[in-house]
Amino acid sequence: MLTGLNHLTLAVSDLNRSLAFYRDVLQLRVEATWDNGAYLSLPGLWLCLSLDSKRSAQACGDYTHYAFSLSAADFPVLVQRLKAADVQQWRDNRSEGASFYFLDPDGHQLEVHVGDLASRLAACRQKPYAGMRFYDAP
């Protein structure tokens, strides 16, 4: 039986640039580096950056993205840091909770979000998406 997400690997075209972004801008902890990769972490997340010559910096264009959690107090501080780093915003927030959607240096679509599954479900119970069904008691 699955117990959780083990790790997330992102293909990157420039390891040093990506390492600097995730370490300095997003403030992930660097655990290890080697010629073609790096391991970084946050509580509950193991992130691998893997150098890949096939990676293009073009965003995929669909809604696939990776969202990081943060507190409401930290949200404006991080968004300001992201804007100061000239990240490209790829979407406006359309759901509950403060969110900022941006691209990393290789075009991976990321989000920082205030809230969790419980707060999202609570908001959806108040205003469900079209055809939405819930599978537990409120």
Query: Catalytic positions, please?
Result: 111
- Residue 13 and residue 53 in contact, taking contact as beta carbons nearer than 8 Å: yes
